[in-house]
Amino acid sequence: MKRKALYSSSRGDRSGRPGPVRLAEVAVAEPELPPAPPSRFSRGIGRVKAFYKRREKWFGLLASAAVAILALVLFQAFVPGARNFTQHDIDLAVRSTLEHIPEPPSKASQAYAVIRPSVVRVSQLEKGKDSDELEVKGVGTGVIIDEKGTILTNLHVVAGADKVGVEYIDGTKSDAEVISVQPENDLAVLKPKILPDDIQPATLKSTAKLRPGDEVIAVGNPFGIGVSVSDGIISGLRRNYQSADGKSNLTNLIQFDAAANPGNSGGPLVTTDGEVVGIVTAILNPTSQRVFIGIGFAVPIENAAAAAGLSPF
């Protein structure tokens, strides 16, 4: 039982001696009586409330339906010339509503929107025979991978160039320096001299969970006509590739069937969420034609990131 605190008071008499100490009264709580058992009526009310609480959602729906039906009946009863709605009328209304709902963009379109700001055009430049002016010898693609503007591309895109140029999504152009190469994976790392105002590096994604059948897009500059996107699936993993001249022998590649052609080299292979899983490096065509027939290869992003000195996974 909780008691009030005890306080003391000392006033003293005129002789200067302290007066008697008096203790405050101790409050004694009266014993509490047990609550009276609920009546039969109270128990019945409680059961009804509990029943309603458990089914509150359904009661609300039934009430809404009843109000709607009542409104329709009153409308048809009191509005002159009101027509009865048939199933055909309802079907027409539903169809009209669905026709005016805009379709969501495709997965490929959404992925392209995410990766596009990170894709650059890479040009291999060389001096002209009759002048010192630089001419475009070849065109490829690259992808920005960090806030410093570091660009990943293929080694064969920049090999032998007198100068390398890059162009960003906003039209900004810059010379770029090759700062690292990884010949065994046909990779080169570029450092541009000028960056755009809004640098947007790509997000890199591990290939550990990549499976044949997964949807991907390839983004690049096929034949130099401009940044293009194609979609397809992962066709296989851990593939090997040897170029027709025998100079390039690549291993552990991602095989895909999204269209890729000369100019796509160095571009990103991207998942449907816009994350880069590989760098497009080669196409397989047993004929003499350098065009896509359904088999493309990409270097896994783990290898590409290692070429740039990154270890994101």
Q: Which amino acid, 51? A: F
- For 152, phi then psi, to 5°, come to -100, 135
Residue 146 Cα distances to 42, 134, 198, 202, 218, angstroms: 70, 29, 12, 7, 20
Residue 186 annotated among the catalytic residues of the structure: yes
DSSP symbols for 140-196: EEEEE-STT--EEEEHHHHTT-SEEEEE-TTS-EEEEEEEEEEGGGTEEEEEES---
Cα–Cα distance for residue pair 108/152, rounded to 1 Å: 22
- Residue 233: closest CA among 276, 301, 294: 294
- Cα 108 off chain centre by: 13
| 227 phi, psi to nearest 5 deg | -60, 125
**Whether residue 156 lies in the annotated active site:** yes
Partnered with residue 269 across adjacent β-strands are 218, 278
Q: Burial letters for 237-254: b for 16+ Cβ neighbours within 10 Å, e otherwise?
A: eebebeeeeeebebeebb
Of the listed 123, 174, 230, 265, which one is catalytic? Answer: 265
The token pair at 74 is 């009153």
Residue among 123, 156, 228, 230 flagged as catalytic? 156
> Cβ of 231: how many Cβ atoms within 10 Å?
20
Catalytic entry in 118, 123, 174, 186: 186
Would residue 265 show up in a list of annotated catalytic residues for this protein?
yes
Distance CA 53, CA 47 (A): 10
Give strand pairing partners of 154.
187
User: Which residues does the annotation mark as catalytic?
Assistant: 156, 186, 265
